[in-house]
Amino acid sequence: VARSDVSPHGNPRPNRRSLDASGALGLLLHYLNSTMHEISLQQIFALIPATVSRYVTSGLPMLLHTLHSMPDATIQWPSGPDFERCSALVVARHPRLEGAFGSIDGLKLPVQTSEDLDIENATYNGWLSEHFVSSVLAFSAEGVVIAARTNAPGSWHDSRLATQIYTRLRLNTPPGYYIVADTAFPRGTNAVDGRIRAPLKHGQVLRGSAAEIEEHMAFNRELLSYRQTAEWGMRGIQGAFGRLRVPLDINNQDARSDLIEICLRLHNLRAIRVGINQIRTVYMKYWQATEDDTEVWQDFENMLFSEQRKKDRVSRFHVTLEYQ
């Protein structure tokens, strides 16, 4: 925190802080990953209310600054061979979706009701009959967020929020590659012609020979199956970061935007470093990434316990004590 937060007459503490860097990070992750009130954080970390408030308020900007410097936490549009690699992951499971590299969908996050009538009206979503802020997220076949437009009024339609993503599809995406969406996103305009594919609408009429219709329906089934990855991504973010399920502060737009960005970057970091990500585990042979992983996967029952411990890929996250 920015100033000393302990009594000058109390017992000495390192650097005159209630928590060291690891403790402050633990407090922030508890705060982000749960819906608990601050009183629970006070009990867990043995801190008074003012101290918890200062750690959360000052710690979140520091965490965001740190995430900006971490390549694995980057939210970045694919480039060059990334498109081919992601498309290969999709095609391995859905052979007809040649060129698909990601999926896109909208996300509604609850927000407090503003006393300002203009803001209250802008954040009210008539379809859901509640106040929200809207975001549009794009996920690659590797399970990470590759594009995001966040913190817009809840009354805005998803297709309106995605204009920046349309620009990337038009200018920064090689020919033949496309992203999978639902029918809320435009697909036939000149700007994004062929760059967005969506499953058939209910009641849509297909014309052609029996073979053509059957092929079209097979393509649609695979398209519908892959579009589910966007739902997995949204659920992964909302499930891991319970703070997003608590109505966000309507009076602090910058803090709200930073909180959403922190959660998205932590999602990418966790997907790459830890591998807890449904899209990643379905479309990537994550547990067979190296020769040791493949050996464990295929011959686990014949390995001695000592060999299993040597090849344990989770043990690096454990704290071990070595006494001199």
DSSP string, 94-119: -TT-TTEEEEEEEEEEEBPPPSSHHH
Residue whose pair of structure tokens reads 């590797």 in the numeric block: 142
CA distances from 210 to 95, 97, 206, 216, 219 (A): 21, 21, 10, 10, 14
Q: Please, what is the average pLDDT of the chain?
A: 85
- Residue 130 CA to residue 227 CA, distance in Å, equals 26
16 vs 176, higher pLDDT: 176
pLDDT in tens, 226-280: 999 999 999 999 999 999 999 999 999 999 999 999 999 999 999 998 888 899 8
111 vs 305, higher pLDDT: 111
CA distances from 94 to 88, 218, 224, 251 (A): 10, 10, 11, 45
| pLDDT higher than threshold 90 for residue 297 | no
Model pLDDT, residue 33: 94
Q: Out of 26-40, 290-304, 306-320, which region has the weakest mean confidence (pLDDT)?
A: 306-320
Model pLDDT, residue 21: 87
CA distances from 12 to 4, 6, 7, 8 (A): 12, 9, 9, 8
- Residue 283 CA to residue 23 CA, distance in Å, equals 35
Q: Of 268, 275, 319, 248, whose CA–CA distance to 26 is shortest?
A: 319
pLDDT in tens, 120-157: 999 998 888 899 999 999 999 999 999 999 999 998 88
Model pLDDT, residue 20: 85
Q: Of 173, 155, 35, whose CA–CA distance to 104 is shortest?
A: 173
